[in-house]
Amino acid sequence: MLRMSVRNEEYLLIGDDIKIIFLGGGAGQTRIMIDAPKEVNIVRSKAIEKRIQDPEILAKLPKYYAEPEHPEKYKKKKNMIIVKN
């Protein structure tokens, strides 16, 4: 899975015909615009979860959890400069 940071009004291209534009957000929400052909099925996860009644199928759906903004392994290491007199 790809994880990246984007600025407002930046966009992603998926293939030649799907464009996702990031509009910004706040209060725990992000607004996006999706430009895709009508043949492409786009569904929110909440809508899928509401329709599924079978707990076994529901348990098999992928779950994504927020990770810390910058996990320790991705933080830049500070270089120490030692000056000898």
| Cα four-point dihedral sign 47, 53, 54, 56 | positive
pLDDT at 72 over 80: no
The two most distant CA atoms of the chain are separated, in Å, by 73
**pLDDT tens by residue, 29-58:** 889 999 999 999 998 888 888 888 888 888
Q: What are phi and psi of 43, to 5 degrees?
A: -135, 135
**Dist. CA 55–CA 33, nearest whole Å:** 32
| Per-residue tokens: 69 | 């903004």
Whether the Cβ atoms of residue 8 and residue 20 lie closer than 8 Å to each other = no
In the chain, what percentage of residues exceed pLDDT 90?
28
